Amino acid sequence: MKTRLPFRIISYAALAIGALFILGPLYLALSIALRTRDETTSNFFAPPTRLYLDNFSTVINKANFWGMLQNSAFITIISLLFMLIAIPMVSYAISRNMNKLYFKWVYTIILMGIFVPFQAIMLPIYRHMGNLELLNQTGLIMMYVTLSFSQGLFLGVGFLKNIPLELDQASKIDGCGVWYTFSRIIYPLMLPIIATILILNSLWIWNDFQLPLIMLNRHPDFWTLPLFIYNFKTETSFDYNLAFAAFSLSMAPIAILYVFTQKYIIGGLTEGSIK
């Protein structure tokens, strides 16, 4: 199917204007971060005339930026590791035992969690974790893993419905145990949906603000990047250029990662939504 030329031109024009709306604010943020205070006071929109990086180094020196970056990365990676084991495991067990009461109940109850908004349990979580002395990164990771089950199970069990039971039976006849069948045969087949789960959750955890706000806002050593940016803004927002340098810095890691992985991210999400 070919598109006619005038239509192509209109499409491109519309897309370009749209892209301007997306890139404009980002460009502005970066350009303010690259200028001194005097330069922005005189003209807010002017592009940077030279490579002025002092704002960035001030932010990095003033706050323990690398430490926060590390915290964010650590929390995200460890949570994902746990999820990538636990979610396929429980999805497989449930999808192959839907006729048994226990598994059916586990499935139903965990799935109902989809309807529970985080805010409904925000206050009790804070209290509960305080009592368990888990208002720290360990507790946060446990929370993330727990909160990922509802959606993970939904996607995982749904995906496994399309993987024929004959595979299991064949492997059983070959004398393989359940665990072997899962880890050697099923898990590799689940990789597309695992990728979707990985992408959705890594974006959520990396960018999450609410859980760190209630669980980690007690000492700067604990902070993640979203918490850092919120707190940094509260403290020094009277300095535009510093604030925008901090915004840009906090966007930088994910932006860099995005450049290299955007195909997989978009592809993974598409994959997940078709299934």
CB of 39 to other proteins, least distance (A): 13
Q: Which is nearer to other proteins, 52 or 103 (CB)?
A: 103
Query: Measured from the CB atom, is 52 or 213 closer to other proteins?
Result: 213
Within 10 Å of residue 259's Cβ, how many Cβ atoms? 8
**What CA–CA distance (Å, rounded) separates 42 from 24?**
20
Q: Exposed, middle or buried, 89 (CB in 10 Å: 0-12/13-18/19+)?
A: middle
Decide: helix, strand or coil at residue 256: helix
Minimum CB distance to other proteins smaller for 29 or for 52: 29
Residue partners of 73: CB distance under 8 A and separation at least 6: 253
Nearer to other proteins, 59 or 125 (CB): 125
C-beta neighbour count of 212 within 10 angstroms: 23
DSSP code of residue 221: G
Q: How far is the CB of 84 from other proteins (least distance, A)?
A: 9
Least distance to other proteins from the beta carbon of 169, Å?
Answer: 12
The closest alpha carbon to 87, from 11, 201, 171, 7, belongs to: 201
Which DSSP symbol is given to 185?
A: I
Cβ atoms of residues 50 and 237 within 8 Å: no
Pseudo-torsion of CA 25, 27, 29, 60, nearest 10°? Answer: 140
Q: Shortest CA distance to 223 belongs to which of 148, 103, 153, 137?
A: 137
The CA distances from residue 194 to 33, 86, 168, 186, in Å, are 38, 11, 19, 12
Q: How far is the CB of 75 from other proteins (least distance, A)?
A: 13
The least CB distance from residue 52 to other proteins, in Å, is 18
Residue with tokens 């069990």: 157
Least distance (Å) between residue 206 CB and other proteins: 7
Q: Is 52 or 158 the residue whose CB approaches other proteins more closely?
A: 158
Q: How far is the CB of 26 from other proteins (least distance, A)?
A: 8
